[in-house]
Structure 1
Amino acid sequence: MTGRKWTSKSLASSFFHQIFYVAIRLGGRWAAYFMLLFVVGFYALHPGVRGRSAEYRRRIVGNRGFLANLWFCYRHYLEFGKMLADRAVLGILGKFRMATGAEDTELLRDLLAEEQKGLIIVTGHAGCWQLGTAGLKDIDAPKAVVLYRDTRDVDRQYYEHRNNGQAPFRIIDPTGPMGGAVEMMEALKQGSILCFMGDRNFGDGSSGVKVDFLGGKIEVPVGAYRLASIMGTPVVVTFSRRTGPGKGEIWVSGAIQVPHGLGRNAEAYRPYAQIFADSLEEYVRSYPLQFYNFYDMWENEG
């Protein structure tokens, strides 16, 4: 395998990130984009960094030769870099527009009002997911995000550039006591929108299941569906995409109906995890340059 296990450790040092942030303060979004042309070129040419997404490229576009694969890799990493630049611009300059359809907003409001048990949103590391809560600003409900943060990740979230670094939503660490389950249940009891990432498993094997994705098997977490079964909370799948400089859109892809009382066995939740994986594959087929799991997700398939 040419890939490697996922890590959120930043590729660049804190010093180089600071240079990037200064460029944004002085020259705005386009200064950041200009720097990315060269930085991304270096990373795309680096065999170790390029190899992180090699298995994904093989599955999404096949083996089209070195130059064609290198060009796809460059565009893929550049798109990711622009998303990170947009995130920093939002934090530093307060500029980013996230569009949400009126029907989707109304659907989320209705689910919150009808069930009164909170709402679980499941998404993936795709599009402009790190800015996704901006698309929920018109929904009057507390928000909570299940967020893992590696201590070696020095790239700032957008809210860390202002407001004393305080997030505009509650952060729940999935590696905390009991996987943060108590905090998650509290959030739902308070009527919160609770956001999960559905395409990476941070726990041990008991917290995930194997599902079909892009012609192979990957392991995904089932915590969101297990919590929905316990609490009777509706689950909605959403995705976002970057549509241009400083612009994105977020939409509801579908809903997942999880029955009550399925228990703790992860295998009971495989059908619901597969619904998410199918939705994610449909997204990836449509926007192949906006999927950002830079590791071999299929390494232990079987």
Structure 2
Amino acid sequence: MAGRPLAYCMLFFVVPFYTLRPNIRRRSAEYRRRRFGDRGALGQFVDCFKLHMEFGKMLVDRAVMGILGQFSLDASPEDFQTLVDLAAQGRGLILITGHVGCWQLGMSVLNKIDGPKAIVMYNNRKDVDKHYYEHDDGNEHPGFSIIDPRSAMGGTLEMMTVLKQAGLLCIMGDRSFGSTKNVVDVDFMGGTIPLPISAYKLASNLNVPIVVTFSHRTGAGYGRIWISRVIDVPENMGRNAQIYQPYAQCFAKGLEEFTEHHPWQFYNFYNMWEKEE
């Protein structure tokens, strides 16, 4: 089928258009500076082009997955068995990931685990790109429900319901969506960024294990998902946000490790360190 290769070719026309726009380049400038250093105007442009190209390929793969169901996600037998064993404990399971690699396509692995599943996802109305499940009008949310963090109480009641049913809850651990409540500062790539701690509070309140997991795109229509670390948060730690800082820091360390191995697949297109300026 020529669809995917043709779409990749079109990126060589689309990506330069966006990369040439200074306001677009600024969105990833701080990340690129911290990850690659000051490489001069040409080097910075090339770095930005590579980042946008990888993001474009991920969007193409996402569309193909939604329309044709064609995407192959690999995981080690050990990691998959860890997920199965933790889910089998019947306490529920929280998966924390970030806006990196093929994170949405990586969530398709949830279909292989029994029980109710939900993803905490903020849908920005200004986003023009579709999530992979939105490309198929007949199967809008395949295998999982969507919890909006902007809903009442930040969707906490819905999250608790899934976990109390021994289900799987997937949460993005790298964005607070503008809320300063339930956020702590952590060290990340030589600076300080705010990260949400709602997942760790839920884990403590409900005695639920946390799996930090990431995925990356390995080729046309292929990706790999793995477990970065498993976090056990002690029960009943209370409401003080700072108590949960070490667990958010643990996630941040995993995220930084991801950028070391897959620097072109980091898709937080904003200055995460902005308050330092």
Contact 1:105/1:139 (8 A) holds in 2: no
Contact 1:241/1:250 (8 A) holds in 2: yes
- Decide which moves more: 210-219 or 197-206: 197-206
Distance 1:89 1:236 in 2: 28
Contact 1:117/1:232 (8 A) holds in 2: yes
Deviations 1:149-202 (A, max 9, x none): 012223111111215252121100111000000000000011111000010012
Distance 1:204 1:147 in 2: 15
Q: What stretches of structure 1 move > 6 A for 4+ residues in a row?
A: none
Within 5 A, what are the aligned runs for 1:133-148? 133-148=107-122
Counterpart for residue 180 of structure 1: 155
AA partner of residue 199 (structure 2): A
* Count of aligned pairs: 276
Q: Is 1:131 equivalent to 2:105 in the alignment?
A: yes
Deviation, structure 1 residue 266: 1.1
Distance 2:212 2:141 in 1: 23
Counterpart for residue 271 of structure 1: 246
Specify the SS of the correspondent of 1:137.
Answer: helix
The correspondence for 1:189, drawn from 147, 150, 164, is 164
Counterpart for residue 252 of structure 1: 227
AA partner of residue 225 (structure 2): I
Deviation, structure 1 residue 112: 1.3
Deviation, structure 1 residue 137: 2.8
Specify the SS of the correspondent of 1:300.
Answer: helix
Q: TM-score, normalised by structure 1?
A: 0.89
Distance 1:234 1:156 in 2: 31
Gaps of 5+ in 2: none
Specify the SS of the correspondent of 1:205.
Answer: coil
RMSD: 1.3
Q: TM-score, normalised by structure 2?
A: 0.97
Identity %: 55
AA partner of residue 218 (structure 1): I
Q: Is 1:158 equivalent to 2:132 in the alignment?
A: yes
Within 5 A, what are the aligned runs for 1:34-73? 34-73=9-48
AA partner of residue 200 (structure 1): R
The correspondence for 1:243, drawn from 218, 231, 236, is 218
AA partner of residue 86 (structure 1): D
Counterpart for residue 205 of structure 2: 230
Contact 1:184/1:194 (8 A) holds in 2: yes
- Decide which moves more: 101-110 or 79-88: 101-110
Q: Is 1:210 equivalent to 2:193 in the alignment?
A: no
Specify the SS of the correspondent of 1:239.
Answer: strand
Counterpart for residue 32 of structure 1: 7
Gaps of 5+ in 1: 1-25
Deviations 1:199-248 (A, max 9, x none): 00125222211100000000010010010011000001000000000000
The correspondence for 1:91, drawn from 49, 66, 73, is 66
